[in-house]
Amino acid sequence: MNDLRYSSDHVWVRLDDDGMATVGVTDYAQSELGDVVAVEAPEVERDIIVNEEIGMLEADDGNFELKAPTSGSVVEVNEAVLEKPELINESPFDDGWIFRMNVDDEEALDELMDEEDYADYLDSLG
């Protein structure tokens, strides 16, 4: 997963070849939540600001506020994950992505953690 960047809110971002960014929640987040039973994703064409609450995951063990990992605009929502929220548990980095977005400033992604930094961050959580 070397091409992923991570927020301290356990959201991952992958800048794709087409210049869009795909966004989802980390394996850590889904495992802490338990079975995800509903997903509230941001609307297509919505402008989002970094750290803004843009959605919600409902799960057996509580709710997870989905916060924007960077600023930009939503271009696509994963309809499959809305219809089958368990995809987040089954495949958080592949089939369980939540939305795609245009990123306002690709360099802002460098402010997010890489895989090694995120692993260290998880270790610090105990």
* Helix segments in the chain, DSSP class H: 27-33, 79-83, 87-90, 115-124
Query: Distance between the two ends of the chain, CA-based, in angstroms?
Result: 22
Residue spans of the chain under pLDDT 50 = 1
pLDDT value for 126:
77
Tokens coding 99:
């939305």
What domains can you pick out in the chain, each with its CATH number? 4-105 (2.40.50.100)
Burial environment of residue 110 by CB neighbours within 10 A (0 to 12, 13 to 18, 19 or more): exposed
**Each residue of 102-121: pLDDT tens digit?**
999 989 999 999 999 999 99
pLDDT value for 54:
97
pLDDT value for 67:
97
CA distance 52 to 69: 8
pTM, to two decimals: 0.95
pLDDT value for 61:
85
pLDDT value for 36:
97
Note whether 33 and 59 are within 8 A (CB).
Answer: yes
pLDDT value for 2:
60
Tell how far CA 3 is from the center of its chain: 14
pLDDT value for 32:
93
